[in-house]
Structure 1
Amino acid sequence: MVVRTITEDVYSIGVIDWDRRLFDNLIPLPEGTSYNSYLVKGSLKTALIDTVDPSFEEEFIGNLVKARCDRIDAIIVNHAEQDHSGALPLILELFPSASIYCTEKCSDLLSALLDIPSDRIKIIKSGEKLDLGGVSLEFIEMPWVHWPETMVTYCPEKKILFPCDLFGAHHATSSLFMDDPCRTEILAKRYYAEIMMPFRNSIREYLEKISKMDISIIAPSHGPLYDSPPWILDKYSDWTSDKVQNIVLIPYVSMHGSTEKMVRMLTGLLMERGINVRPFNLTGSDSGLLAMELVDAATVVFGTPTVLFGPHPDMVSTAYLANLVKPKTRYATVIGSFGWGGKTVDTIKSLIPHIKAELLPPVYLKGAPGEKTLEELTTLADIIAEKHAQDPNITK
Structure 2
Amino acid sequence: MKPRKVSERVQWMGAIDWNRRLFDSLIPLPDGTSYNAYLLRGSEKTTLIDTVDPAKVDILLEQLRDIPQIDYLISLHAEQDHSGSIPTILEAYPHAQLICSQKAQELLIDHLHVAKERIKIVNDGEKLSLGDCTLAFIYTPWVHWPETMVAYLEEENILFSCDFFGSHLATSDLYAGDDPYVCEAAKRYYAEIMMPFRSIIKKNMEKIGDLDVKLIAPSHGPIYNKPQCILDYYRNWISDTVANKVVIPYISMHGSTEKMVEYLVSSLAERDIKVEKFELSSTDIGKLAMALVDAATIVIGTPTVHFGPHPIVFSVTQLANALKPKVKYAAIIGSYGWGTKAVEQIAGLIPNLKVDVLDTVMCKGYPRKEDFEALDRLADKIKEKHALL
Structure 2 length normalisation: TM-score?
0.99
* Displacement of 1:309: 1.9
Provide the secondary structure at the position in 1 that maps to 2:5. Answer: strand
2:31 is equivalent to residue 31 of structure 1: yes
Mark the runs of 5 or more structure 2 residues left unpaired by the alignment: none
Task: Tell me the number of residue pairs that the alignment of Structure 1 and Structure 2 aligns.
Answer: 389
* Displacement of 1:211: 2.6
Q: What RMSD over aligned residues (CA atoms) do the two structures have, in Å?
A: 0.9
Provide the secondary structure at the position in 2 that maps to 1:361. Answer: strand
Provide the secondary structure at the position in 1 that maps to 2:159. Answer: strand
2:179 maps to 181
2:243 is equivalent to residue 245 of structure 1: yes
My pick for the range that moved more, 167-176 or 277-286, is 277-286
2:274 maps to 276
User: In 1, distance between residues paired with 2:4 and 2:276?
Assistant: 42
Work out which of the residue numbers 219, 222, 227 in structure 1 matches 2:220: 222
Per-residue deviation, residues 22-81 of structure 1 (Å, max 9, x unmatched) = 00010000110000000000111111100000001111100112xx31101111101000
Mark the runs of 5 or more structure 1 residues left unpaired by the alignment: 392-396
Is this contact kept in 1: 2:177–2:226, CA < 8 A? no
Provide the secondary structure at the position in 2 that maps to 1:158. Answer: coil
Aligned residues: percent identity?
55
1:172 maps to 170
2:96 is equivalent to residue 98 of structure 1: yes
User: In 2, distance between residues paired with 1:25 and 1:365?
Assistant: 36
* Displacement of 1:333: 1.1
1:163 maps to 161
1:302 maps to 300
Is this contact kept in 1: 2:177–2:225, CA < 8 A? no
Per-residue deviation, residues 297-322 of structure 1 (Å, max 9, x unmatched) = 10000000001121111101110111
Provide the secondary structure at the position in 1 that maps to 2:6. Answer: strand
* Displacement of 1:208: 2.3
User: In 2, distance between residues paired with 1:335 and 1:236?
Assistant: 32
Matches within 5 A, 1:24-103: 24-65=24-65, 68-103=66-101
Per-residue deviation, residues 104-126 of structure 1 (Å, max 9, x unmatched) = 11011001111111111011111
Per-residue deviation, residues 88-136 of structure 1 (Å, max 9, x unmatched) = 0111111111111111110110011111111110111111111111011
User: In 2, distance between residues paired with 1:208 and 1:181?
Assistant: 26
Code of the residue aligned with 2:19 in structure 1: it is D
Matches within 5 A, 1:303-342: 303-342=301-340
User: In 1, distance between residues paired with 2:45 and 2:371?
Assistant: 71
Per-residue deviation, residues 142-161 of structure 1 (Å, max 9, x unmatched) = 11120100000110011100
User: In 2, distance between residues paired with 1:383 and 1:178?
Assistant: 42
After the TM superposition, which segments of 4 or more aligned residues of structure 1 sit over 3 Å from their partners?
none
* Displacement of 1:379: 1.1
Provide the secondary structure at the position in 1 that maps to 2:206. Answer: helix
Matches within 5 A, 1:125-164: 125-164=123-162
Provide the secondary structure at the position in 1 that maps to 2:379. Answer: helix
Structure 1 length normalisation: TM-score?
0.97
User: In 1, distance between residues paired with 2:254 and 2:178?
Assistant: 43
* Displacement of 1:180: 5.2
User: In 1, distance between residues paired with 2:188 and 2:166?
Assistant: 10
Provide the secondary structure at the position in 2 that maps to 1:163. Answer: strand
